[in-house]
Structure 1
């Protein structure tokens, strides 16, 4: 586990200990030119705090929305993002890559 991953997990634990609802999103698979490698993490709270990155910013809003839904329902989600190179800039995946992100509620 990288130092960044350990920092994200520590942040998630601290936010959870302070009473926040928390979810963690983890890149589990990538194809082609992906913005972040597998294992990259983003932690999100119900109040909107975020730390880390699963995409260098290009799909973080969609992942944060899914994380808030997961916090409400308790149901994990596997998100699949990808786009052809000709539409990549339009939807925010400028790299044209593909990735899968697993979102789960903490505690």
Structure 2
């Protein structure tokens, strides 16, 4: 089992989907790399239908599973962190696809389903 520790991005304008949120993730990645940590970057490359974060949203993850940023508001983060840890170890980038049908979404209390693609790569 992987323990997940998420850091909430600090943004200048309070909007977690803004450019300043992604800049904050990049700043965190740079800081972690300078401290000698091994890290991966996860980026939403595409989304369809109902997705809480737009393409370009990012999350940085270190080899211990500490993450900063958000890709979906919590729906897929634990899976992304697990794959990012593997990516850091192997150096092999991954493209993940997450799909939720409308029926499953309604059962979970969501308005509708959606599809998110996330690219994970080791950086540094």
In structure 1, distance between residues paired with 2:105 and 2:96: 17
Compute the RMSD of aligned alpha carbons. Answer: 1.9
Instruction: Specify the alignment match of 2:31 in structure 1.
Output: 14
Residue ranges of structure 1 left out of the alignment (5+ in a row): none
Instruction: Specify the alignment match of 1:57 in structure 2.
Output: 74
Structure 2 residue aligned with 1:77, among 82, 89, 94?
A: 94
Contact 1:23 1:71 in 2 (8 A): yes
User: Aligned residue pairs: how many?
Assistant: 106
- Runs of 4+ with >2 A deviation: 92-95
Contact 2:65 2:82 in 1 (8 A): no
In structure 2, distance between residues paired with 1:38 and 1:93: 24
More helix by share: 1
Q: Which one has the largest radius of gyration? A: 2
TM superposition score normalised by structure 2: 0.79
TM superposition score normalised by structure 1: 0.91
Residues 1-107 of structure 1: pairs in structure 2 closer than 5 A:
2-88=19-105, 94=110, 95-107=112-124
Q: Which has the higher contact order (CA 8 A, sep 6+)?
A: 1
